[in-house]
Amino acid sequence: VWETRRMSNRYLLSITITFVCCVTKTLEDIVNQDGPTAETNLTVPEIVQSLPTGWTQWAGAIGGAILVGLTGVLPLWVVPAKVGGSSSGPGNDDNLKYLLAFAVGGLLGDVFLHLLPETYQHMIDSGDEGGAGRIGVAVLTGILTFLVLEKVLEISNPETNEELREKENKKIVGYLNLFANCTDNLLHGLAVGTSFLSSFRLGVTTTAAILLHEIPHEFGDFAILLKSGFDRWEAAKAQISTALVGLLGALLALAFESNNDLETLLMYILPFTAGGFLNIALVSVVPELMEEKRPGPALGQFICVIGGIVAMSLLTMV
């Protein structure tokens, strides 16, 4: 079974590398089309030059959204198989908690250094003086929505076996994290789509920035899913499935073709997502980390939280 999984990992890796190479080559060709000199245009295949401008926007946005979604499988290849496995010992359990602590830092950094500042910037740019109160309401709505969802899912679980019920309820945090990721990926898809609408070069730059932002985020999400009882393959497949929402976001941006409509949508989705991330980090994950009584591991977890915040802080400068 493990040999089959290793072969599957290699097969997936080879497919991903081939896909990225093909997309990169296509991006280079199309970027050359937009170049300012006639010499650059001579290097572009004639078939690309004959295509309408809208084609490059659609191809770039869809390709960028897919590339961002593929970051969900990176933890499967990087995080050791023994971390979070059913046979984990005390040392491996500590490693999972370090990953969870990094996830907490990443979520808090994402909320306070990315999502909320971006929301207030949208409010300032739009000249909406009364938008600050609505942003606060949207954050509170996100927090309370995730609290209510978790409790409703726990109460409505029909399982009568106490052990199985507890195991199934443990996965609820993972499902809520996936839901929050769906809204986050929708935002990324919208950002990729709107940037390609502006210019192809801006779209490529935005996609690269989101890719860098997503990599540490995906490792934290992977740790939360492992903690919730998902096995490694289930976690990877679940993360890839949320990428479809990012693709939907890119298609919505291309369909709207109007920044005004998207600005209004972002004013509500960004703070709602921030509220969901706050709930997952502070309500679902931090209490488990607070149970640590050993000074050494507790200090290590705190350093990992700071590391997650610093990582997100550095990525906001990109």
pTM above threshold 0.85? no
Helix intervals (H) in the chain: 2-33, 38-41, 46-49, 53-69, 74-78, 90-110, 116-126, 131-155, 162-170, 172-198, 200-227, 232-256, 259-279, 286-290, 295-315
Of 80, 111, 84, nearest to 9 (Cα)? 80
Tokens found for residue 203:
């779209």
**Contact by Cβ (8 Å): 229, 85:** no
Residue 158: strand, helix, or coil? coil
**The pLDDT value given to residue 257:** 63
**The pLDDT value given to residue 57:** 80
**The pLDDT value given to residue 139:** 95
Angle at 114 between CA 111 and CA 120, to 5 degrees: 95
**Contact by Cβ (8 Å): 316, 110:** no
Environment class of 29 (CB within 10 Å of its CB; exposed 0-12, middle 13-18, buried 19+): middle
Q: Going by C-beta distance under 8 Å and a sequence separation of 6 or more, which residues neighbour residue 226?
A: 83, 84, 96, 99, 232, 235
Helices 172-198 & 200-227 angle (0-180, nearest 10): 180
> Alpha-carbon Rg of the chain, whole angstroms?
21
Tokens found for residue 144:
């309370």
Environment class of 301 (CB within 10 Å of its CB; exposed 0-12, middle 13-18, buried 19+): buried
| pLDDT tens for each residue of the chain, 318 residues long | 444 444 444 444 454 445 445 544 444 454 444 444 333 343 434 444 444 446 778 888 888 888 888 888 888 888 877 666 555 555 557 888 999 999 999 999 999 998 899 888 888 887 777 788 889 999 999 999 999 999 998 888 887 777 788 888 888 889 999 999 898 888 888 888 888 887 888 888 888 888 888 888 888 889 999 888 888 888 888 988 888 888 888 888 887 765 666 677 778 888 999 999 999 999 989 998 999 999 999 999 999 999 999 998 887 776
**The pLDDT value given to residue 307:** 95
Instruction: Give the chain's end-to-end CA distance (angstroms, integer).
Output: 42
Residue 129: strand, helix, or coil? coil
Report in angstroms the alpha-carbon separations of 219 from 36, 80, 91, 106, 311: 40, 12, 19, 9, 12
**The pLDDT value given to residue 45:** 43
